[in-house]
A = this chain, B = another copy of it.
């Protein structure tokens, strides 16, 4: 039986405008590993979104900064909405206007920062 590819531990690969979006089969394999993330269609662009809760603004901002560090390390950047008690993180790939495997990798890494 084929093993599901584990997202944690993987590195982002270069994403170009002609890189493939994730397939339905890949989504079926990856999404259970980042099950707290919602798959959302934002005006035709598929994105991953998760809301993380904190006890204040400073906690949310500290988490935002931790995400910033892995984003720089991997060369792939999210949108993060930081507010009192909450950080909402969106991952998607601008170049392909949708989801690349990189986004699932980064979602898993983001979860790893929170746990």
Contact = CB atoms under 8 A, between A and B. Distances in A.
A26 to B, nearest CB: 24
* Oligomer copy total: 2
Interface in A31-87: 57-58, 61, 64-65, 68, 71-72, 77-84
A83 B80 contact: yes
A9 to B, nearest CB: 23
Interface residues of A, number: 17
Contacts of A61: 64-65, 68
A57 B65 CA distance: 11
Contacts of A64: 61, 64, 82
A77 B72 contact: no
Contacts of A65: 61, 65
A29 to B, nearest CB: 28
Contacts of A58: 68, 72
A-B complex: 6 closest residue pairs judged by Cβ atoms:
A79-B83, A57-B77, A77-B84, A61-B68, A81-B81, A80-B82
B84 A81 contact: no
